[in-house]
Amino acid sequence: MSPTKRPIDYTSSESEDTNTDIKPHISSTPPSTPKKKITPKKTKTPTPKKVKSSAANTSNNSEGWTPQDRLNLFEAFVSTVEVKWDEVAAKMGPNYTGKQCREQWQRATGKRIRKALGED
């Protein structure tokens, strides 16, 4: 174990008037370490929670997708050359958005059709 280094003070141990010899003075206190800057903790800005849209908010049909709606969705999907969900929704009527049609297709209708065709 190495001894603790202490700062050496080169001031005279006696008054300067009587003695011209400079003697090293070893301090009895350990050197002070620089203090870390204390920075305030960053607070997180709360992220707004996403609100799920319900069929009641965007549609007159508050019970969800009926079998007839799913059939209409299938027909609108098949009749669209390049799937643009806003166009599919326009063919469905004013009650559904492109996002609703896409999610319904991905979640239920498309899976059922693939299963019926034996692709799943």
Contact 76, 86 (CB under 8 A): no
Give yes or no for residue 92 having a pLDDT over 70: yes
Task: Give the pLDDT score at 89.
Answer: 93
CA nearest neighbour of 72 among 94, 96, 91: 91
Work out the pLDDT band at 82, boundaries 50, 70, 90. confident
Beta bridge partners of 8: 26
Give yes or no for residue 98 having a pLDDT over 90: yes
Beta bridge partners of 25: 9
79's tokens:
């009749």
Residues 31-65 pLDDT 10s: 666 677 777 777 776 666 665 554 444 445 567 88
